[in-house]
Structure 1
Amino acid sequence: MSNQSVSTLINPQNGNLAFKLLSFDDNSHFDHIQRNNYFSLIWITKGKGTIKADFAEHHFNADSLLAFSPYQPFMICTKEDIQGIAIHFHPDFYCILKHQKEVSCNGVLFNNVYQPPFTAVTDQAKATFQMVIDQIKTELQNTAIAQYELLISYLKIFLITATRLKTDQSEEPKPLPDSKEPFILQNLKDAIEDNFKTKHSAGHYAELLNISPKALAKLSKNYFNKTLTDLIAERIIIEAKRELYMTNKTVKEIAYELGYDDEHYFSRFFKTNADVSPQLYRETIGFGRMV
């Protein structure tokens, strides 16, 4: 007997999903590739399995919180039923980039290419999440004045709690004694942050760090579960999405700022990695929809 339930708010201006709360007791919602134009927070309360997200696979257990950005491809694979609650919200409803200072979750919960897209939920966080979800359920049944403002407040509490949790759990890998690996990994992250707009190949970073491409590729795969090329590509895409979200720059201008002289090549690169064209991305969640 299924006890799945769903409450959805629709944006009256365009008919698209604005906010959605979903309770689920199997994996039917997530057993195929998702490419949604909204943010997703998925709290797995029972069960375990594997997340396929972007270019990597990660194993998760019960009481894991999964977080995905718009158009980030993901899929949950399980051999047993899972139970949980999902919160979906469109950037028109609440944009974490536009309001970054309020919750500071961008780069922690979302858009973090270096860590798995999930967080272990502690007993204390579990109590907070459940309280917030109960409040959201009640408010979704109430069309009284200031419903939007209350839902945003509850969503912020959820996001801030999750962000603090993820920050507390974010530790650098623990390598063998006397290993130089943490130093190299941090240097790699810094090098990508400093140079992703101008250096797009794995060889550039091996040269910058004075390490063989093969050794750097092995480190990237071992610790980030992704190839170095994938790390670089994801970082470029995150920046491109941010520009499409937040500015009225043309795709050509954004491409040039990210080191691509050929707008069409950049558009193909973006679509390969985001599964949607830059223009369609902007039209569905970007600048043009927030002005």
Structure 2
Amino acid sequence: MSLKPQFIPLNTFPDVESKGIIIERSAVEDLELERIGTAHRDNYHLFFILEQGSGIFEVDFRQHPIVSPSVIYIQPYQVHRGISFKDGRFTIILINGENLDPDYLDVLKKIAPAAPLLLQPESFEVISDAIAVCLRMKTFKRKLSYSILKNSCHALIGFIISEFLNDSSPIDPPDRSAVIMSNFKCLLEEKFALEKNPGYYAEQLNISTAYLNECAKKATGYTVSNHIQERIILEAKRLLFHSSKSVKEIASQLGYEDYSYFSRLFNKSTGMTALTFRKKSFE
């Protein structure tokens, strides 16, 4: 049995001098496969643009084969790792929330988690040109150079986000139920470990619990309680799979002082006990 860390490894922003935004182009052979192959979280937003080659990313237990040209967006604190890469080159953009345009940040919260996006030739051409501009800006050492680089990267990020929106957004504008569910999911992402009561979310959204449930069922087919439970179970799986914390410690971290209740909830949701799920992760 391999040893697992007590906590899921967390990568913090790697370069203080970068002031919260980094763009780098590299070749696949330069990747530190052992490091990126270990499941981890980042406390920043990551855009991985695969310009040549292919590979496999795993994000929250789902493996995503990718081929160029494509882009992957990893939101902060998602558990992910690179399983394999073959040939080619890629560009990464790292940016922390404080440096991300507030409008972009709001959209990213609503579209996440996002599957890898295969880029159409004309879109990839625009992205490639924008990457070239950003990398060129890095070489200039003059007044306002950081602001110019930041604005260039923001333009690139904005275009990438627009591509995700074009790929996922329906032709018709979203109805009220879809808007409410989008806002609910953003709130849930922040509060799931503390707030389990649908009434709390309804109150924060200034609507009744019954109406929130109605919107949830219309937009997704599931109740608010189902969504809350699903998010909790995802976090439990992350901790069971990627850390050595005991089930009791995980239950407590997720806001359950009643360990037996949490165990029954996990079993009901997954069809197996938490310990069985952990055992499978070692196989």
TM class by smaller structure: 0.5 to 0.7
Q: Residue 42 of structure 1: SS of its match in structure 2?
A: strand
Alignment-derived partner of residue 276 in structure 2: none
* 2:89 maps to 1:83: yes
2:271 corresponds to: none
Identity, in percent, stands at 12
- Could you tell me how far 1:51 is from its partner in structure 2? 2.1
Look up the match of 1:124.
Answer: 122
Q: Partners of 2:52 and 2:39 in 1: how far apart?
A: 21
Decide whether aligned partners of structure 1 residues 150 and 71 sit closer, same or farther in structure 2, where only a CA change above 3 A counts: same
Name the structure 1 match of 2:22: 19
Q: Given the two structures, how large is their TM-score scaled by the length of structure 1? A: 0.53
Match of 2:229 in 1: 229
Specify which of 40, 43, 47 is matched with residue 41 of structure 1. 47
RMSD: 4.5
**Structure (1 or 2) with the greater helix fraction:** 2
Deviates more, 1:55-64 or 1:161-170: 55-64
Partner residue of 1:136?
134
2:64 aligns with one of 58, 65, 70: 58
CA distance 1:147–1:79, change in 2 (3 Å):
closer
Contact 1:39 1:89 in 2 (8 A): yes
Q: Which of these residues, 158, 162, 165, is aligned with residue 164 of structure 1?
A: 162
- The residue aligned with 2:102 is 100
In the alignment, the residues of structure 1 paired with residue 102 and residue 230 of structure 2 have an alpha-carbon distance, to the nearest angstrom, of 25
Q: What is the Cα deviation at residue 25 of structure 1?
A: 1.9
Give the aligned residue type for 2:68.
A
Amino acid at match of 1:269: L
In structure 2, what is the equivalent of residue 72 of structure 1?
78
Contact persistence 2:110–2:183 (CA under 8 A): no
Q: Match for 2:149 among 138, 148, 151?
A: 151
Counterpart residue type for residue 163 of structure 2: L
1: CA distance, partners of 2:48 / 2:94: 8
The answer to which structure, 1 or 2, has the higher relative contact order (CA under 8 A, 6+ apart) is 2
Q: What is the CA deviation profile of residues 37-63 of structure 1, one whole-angstrom value per residue up to 9, with x for unaligned ones? A: 322111012233332113433332221
Flag structure 2 segments of 5+ consecutive residues without an equivalent: 1-12, 171-176, 199-208, 236-248, 256-283
- Whole-angstrom distance in 1 between the partners of 2:117 and 2:50: 10
Partner Cα separation in structure 1 for residue 250 and residue 67 of structure 2: 40
- CA distance in 2: counterparts of 1:267 and 1:140, whole angstroms: 46
Give the Å deviation of 1:32: 2.6
Q: CA offsets, 1:176-221, max 9 Å, x none?
A: xxxxxxxxx96995695499465469xx99xx5799xxx969xx9x
